[in-house]
Every structure is written in C-alpha cells, then in structure tokens.
Structure 1
Amino acid sequence: MASSTSGTSVAVFTCLCFFFLTFADQQQITVKTGDNVTLQCHHRGGDIQLLEWRRLNPEEDVFVCRHGKNDCSTPHPSFKNRVELRDPEMKDRDVSVILNNVTINDTGTYECYVRNSSTKPPPQLFNTTRLTVTDSDQQQITVKTGDNVTLQCHHRGGDIEHLEWRRQDLKEEVFVWKHGKMSDDNQHPSFKNRVELRDPEMKDGDVSVILKNVTIKDTGTYECRVRNNKTKPPPHLITTINLTVVNSGAAEHGGDKYGGKKDGGNKDGGNKDKGDKDGGDKDGGNKDKGDKDGGDKDGGDKDGRNKDVGDKHRHLKLVLTVFVSVILVGIVGIVCVTHRKCNGHFKKNSDVSLPDEAADQEPT
C-alpha cells in the first residue's frame, strides 16, 4: 500500500514537471534604449476570453485584453500608448505584444497569461520573458587632472522631485537635489563644494552637473537617477557615464576638449543634446523595427541570437519531454508490477489457510 502511494506521488510530481516544461516558455532579450521590442507569446486552446501581460517586481499590468481583441488597455501609466498587439487579429493564436521606445526602466520580467473558452479561471501562464534594456547613450569621457567636466543627463517626464548622481563604487551620493534645493546630507566628503547643476533652473529637463577640479580618484562609473511627480520611488536610472581621469601630462587634450571651462569644457566631447530629448533615437527607435514579420529584429534578434536560442530551447524541451515520458512510463510499470505481486501473495496465503479451517470444523 505504501509503495503504491509513493509511486502515485512521484507520478503526479513528474506530470507537473512535464506540464511546466511543455507550457512555460522562457526567453532572454537584451535591447537598447529607444528600440522597439516584441514580447512573444502563443496560446493553446479555444477563443481568448482574457489576455494579461504583467511585469514582476513590482507587479504591474502592462497590457490587458478582455473578451477578445476589441477591449484592450494599458492599465499602468508608464506603458500608456507604448504597447500594442503584434497581430491585432491574433491569428494562429499569436498574442505577442510590441513595447515601443523602451527605456532603462522597462528592464524586468514579463509574463503572458491567457484564459480561453476551454480553460477555467485563473488565466494560465504561457510565457516568461526576461527583458534587459541597456543604455544606448552611455558616455565614455576622458579628462585631465584639474579640469572641470560636465556629466550630462536629460530627463523626460513630469516635475522633478528627487535627483541623484551616484558613483557605483561609493555608498554616499555625488550630488543630491530634493525638495527644491541641493542637499548635502548624504554627499560623499570628496565631492563637497565641487559639484553643481549646469542649469540651476533645470530647463528642458537638463539635470547635468559640473564636477570641478577633477582628480585621479574621481575615475569611476557615474549614474544619473531621477524621480518625478509621475513615478514612484526609488529614483529611476536615466544615464550612465564612465569617467576616466588621467594625469595632466598623460594626454595633450585629455581625450576631449574640457580645458577647465565653467560648463565642463564639453565643447565637442559632451554633446549637450546627447541626452536625446526625443528618446535617444531620432525616430524613437524605428517604430517599424521588425514588428510584423515575426523575425523579432527588435527583440534582440539583430544578430540572429534569438532564433538560435529558440531552436536550442525547443530541442532541449523535446529531449526533456521524451526523458520525462520514459520515466513516467517506468514508474507506472513498477507500480503495476508491485501491485500484482502483492495481490498474488495475498491470494496464495488465502488458498493455503482454507483447508485447515475446514478440518477444524469437520468433527463437529
């Protein structure tokens, strides 16, 4: 009896593993800011009653369709007017969506859930996609000791409530602006009285800062983070800059013409408009980039890697499916053989004991 129960439990566990291997696809996609990306998903079953695309950590509804294709919306404000079905008709059960003009803040794990006419609530998970967005406008700056350098950053959105400049290897901040003024409460001592806003009014979203009289110790990776009245804490990453400071005699011009000017000397190396007010790409990352041909050019497939990964995943799933099926059949066989042996042993013992009982009763 115990053997049969154990075998049944193992069989149920194996079936669950088989289900997740078969129905939960996973993808890894890396794109640059300003690109359009296709989050792929195909459902199996009847007519769609509910489609949900969600992002985890924090959990947000990215795109929702109820009662088919005619009632779709983007509940979260950060995705408004940026998400659409790749195929509005959802032909061949294609419920993939296109996320347009991605930003660093779109990095995360996305899940595709579907409930159709042949399934019961809640919706079933059909696909998980890990999306990584890298900064296409990451700056590389080299200056000489003693120069002033402008660390450029432009933000797009509502009114600024909190601005932070950080260096990745430091716990304290390089520069902090909050409640309408600069704050030095958590500023690293080495940056005190050396950092200021390029434009104190922050017009046109210019949150660039000037770092004065740089030293070798200022070399590092700097991050510009902003929270406005339309975003939740913590501040979101906008720009990353790799700053290298060399001795004044090591390079004639320090790599760029910074020369110690008040605005950081970024005559031709800083590019004031490098923040890209229009989203980092003149055309917003090429809106038609691989949308309808299913080639997923905008989904990290610019070099064909997504196709190769997909083939490898399908091959791996096939191998695992066959392997799990063989194990499942073996377990069922063992359970059946064990069950028959137990029944045979019981029957044999029963047949032997019956004549003795009859003999005991005969004299009476």
Structure 2
Amino acid sequence: MAAFLFLLFLLSEAASDLIVVSVHPGEDAILPCRAADVSIRAVEWTRPDLEPPEYVLFYRDGHLDTTHLHPSYKGRVDLVDRHLKDGDVSLILTNVRSQDRGTYECRVASGGFIRTKRAILDSEPIRTIQLQVTGSNSGRDKDENSTHVGLYIGLGVFFALLFLT
C-alpha cells in the first residue's frame, strides 16, 4: 500500500509542473509565465510540435521579432506586459482555434542568448502549459479528455493491483 501511495505522490508532483488552460474556440487565452529574474533580454514561446526554428512568439530588446514566427500565429500573439514588469512574460493568444491545442513552453534569457536548431533560446523551459480547446464542433476534445482520464485510472488500478498482490 505504501508503494502505491508513493507512486500517486510522484504522479501528482509531476502533474503539478504542468499548467492546463482551457478555452473555447474564438476566445482569447492567457498562458501564464513568470520569470524569477526581472532583467529579461529575451522571451520565447514555442510548441515542441512546430518545425524548428519557428516559434509562437519571440521578444527581444523591447520588440517582437517575427523572423521565424509560425504563420498560424501571425497577428494573434502578444505579451500581457511588454515592459515585463515583475518578470511577467505571460502570452496572450487571441481568437483561439482548435489547431492551437497543444503544449506550449516559455523560456527567457537575461544576458546574451545563443541560437540553437531546436529553439532560439538555449535553456530549459521555465513553464510548460497544456492548452485545451474545448467545445469545438468536432467532438474530438471530449474524446481526447475521456481517453486521458481513462488512461490515468487504468494505470492507477494496474499499479494498485501490482503492489497490493
């Protein structure tokens, strides 16, 4: 029983690092991210499933850089506060579409930054967000959510039976 409780603790700790934001198609979404260091030179928002070096938003030296911006985000992204007050680097995504569903990563650079093949900033994400687009006409959202819940329940039952027997 102790092993099962420990496993549940580990799963809940891992899940707490991921923030889930749910919106309906057509709404605006704010993806929260705050940097510990307030002397920020650059902010990068990416989606791991986009082809590098394209990104969702790249902001440096007080300006949005659209050089490698993914075409589906043109004119639909901005920072909540371009002054980056108190380290707030949260992303605003307007007119959310079902194709926007996915995992978003936030990175910041305080000093000089290095370009890489995977992303513009060479650092680990400071925040990972799962954007869910609910209420679409396809019904796909409900099916995906049911699948995830069923998977977690199934894994819990499997490990419970494994450790209790």
Larger relative strand fraction = 1
Matching residue of 1:216: 98
Output the CA distance in 2 between the equivalents of 1:135 and 1:183: 32
The amino acid of 2:45's aligned partner reads W
Q: Which runs of structure 2 are paired with 1:116-155 in the superposition (5 Å)?
A: 136-155=16-35
The Cα shift of 1:250 comes to 8.3
What TM-score, normalized to structure 1? 0.31
Listed one character per residue, the Cα deviations across residues 255-274 of structure 1 (whole Å, up to 9, x for unaligned) are xxxxxxxxxxxxxxxxxxxx
Q: Which runs of structure 2 are paired with 1:280-359 in the superposition (5 Å)?
A: none
Greater displacement, 224-233 / 177-186: 224-233
Q: Could you list the runs of 5+ residues in structure 2 that have no partner in the other structure?
A: 1-9, 115-120, 140-165
Give the number of the structure with larger relative contact order, counting CA–CA contacts within 8 Å between residues 6 or more apart.
2
The Cα shift of 1:248 comes to 4.9
Query: For the structure 1 residues 235 and 155, does the alpha-carbon distance in structure 2 shift closer, same or farther, using more than 3 Å as the test?
Result: same
Dislocated runs of 4+, deviation >4 Å: 230-233, 248-251
Task: Indicate whether 1:175 and 2:57 are aligned.
Answer: yes
Q: Which runs of structure 2 are paired with 1:104-253 in the superposition (5 Å)?
A: 136-171=16-51, 172-229=54-111, 234-248=122-136
The Cα shift of 1:249 comes to 6.2
Output the CA distance in 1 between the equivalents of 2:94 and 2:20: 18
Report the identity percentage.
39
Output the CA distance in 2 between the equivalents of 1:167 and 1:200: 21
Query: For the structure 1 residues 173 and 209, does the alpha-carbon distance in structure 2 shift closer, same or farther, using more than 3 Å as the test?
Result: same
What TM-score, normalized to structure 2? 0.65
Matching residue of 1:8: none
Output the CA distance in 2 between the equivalents of 1:234 and 1:135: 24
The Cα shift of 1:246 comes to 2.4
RMSD between aligned residues: 2.7
The Cα shift of 1:135 comes to 7.4
Matching residue of 1:303: none
Q: Could you list the runs of 5+ residues in structure 1 that have no partner in the other structure?
A: 1-30, 36-133, 252-364
The Cα shift of 1:179 comes to 2.4
The amino acid of 2:29's aligned partner reads V
The number of aligned residues is 121
Rg larger for: 1
The Cα shift of 1:162 comes to 1.5
